[in-house]
Structure 1
């Protein structure tokens, strides 16, 4: 059996608990409406000036790069065409070397008969991808043929 000395009931503090605050407490106002509008206009003006300075520098850089690309473009085209013609020559030389032991074979024809009858002589007939990459690895051909799908 328990005695009164062993059991102590939890009671409110003397004088009772404090009141629960439930009334609205407005936030402290640091700036008024006109100060906020003035700050907004000042920040916008400063940002616009910095944007103008940055755009001016970027425009100059873009203009220089555009001029440089226009200046170098013809040389790049000439180098591309030169590499293309070199590869066509390599393909022709490889065909000549490969078919050297075949009797009656003349390079650029089908056993001595021209492939194209209506094309004037000394006219470049551009090969398709398979013909252009015929003596290279399949991976090189596959990479070039599907290059548009990679980007």
Structure 2
């Protein structure tokens, strides 16, 4: 039988166990961190101000362009409105040409609108204005369904 050998400590014993807390060495001290915070904040604020000025300038230019073109857009809208009224009148003239006694813009000779001042434009309602357009276009322009 083989001889049994006990595992024993080294001669003189083990060295002492170090159990004291050894804090990690910090890369920066408090003053350095505070100074870095102030520096980064100042740089970010400077970039913010530059960006704010650029955005304000773009908005100002866009608003100016919008105000400059607004009268032209109003004139085009009014022009399209009058063209549609004229198309409505011509369509009525074409549809009712075989009806005896029919005058365009009246109901068998009687004016539809009683005007206080002559030559005053009475704006028609939505259904009258869009009376002669296709149903698909009517629905698109009014976003409503007249059959429901």
Would the aligned equivalents of 2:101 and 2:108 in 1 still touch at CA under 8 Å? yes
Q: What are structure 1's unaligned runs of at least 5 residues?
A: 1-13, 16-23
RMSD between superposed Cα atoms in Å: 2.6
User: TM-score, normalised to structure 2's length?
Assistant: 0.73
Question: For residue 86 of structure 1, what is the aligned residue in structure 2?
Answer: 83
The change in CA–CA distance for 1:119 and 1:96 in structure 2 (over 3 A counts) is farther
User: TM-score, normalised to structure 1's length?
Assistant: 0.72
Question: Would you say how many aligned residue pairs link Structure 1 and Structure 2?
Answer: 127
Question: For residue 19 of structure 1, what is the aligned residue in structure 2?
Answer: none
2:105 pairs with 104, 108, 113, which one?
A: 108
Which residues in structure 2 correspond to 1:102-141 (within 5 Å)? 102-141=99-138
1:52 pairs with 49, 54, 71, which one?
A: 49
Q: What are structure 2's unaligned runs of at least 5 residues?
A: 1-6, 9-20
Which residues in structure 2 correspond to 1:13-52 (within 5 Å)? 29-52=26-49
Partners of 2:28 and 2:117 in 1: CA distance = 86
Instruction: Say yes or no: does 1:61 pair with 2:20.
Output: no
Would the aligned equivalents of 2:113 and 2:122 in 1 still touch at CA under 8 Å? no
Partners of 2:40 and 2:139 in 1: CA distance = 55
Runs of 4 or more, structure 1, over 4 Å off, are 24-28
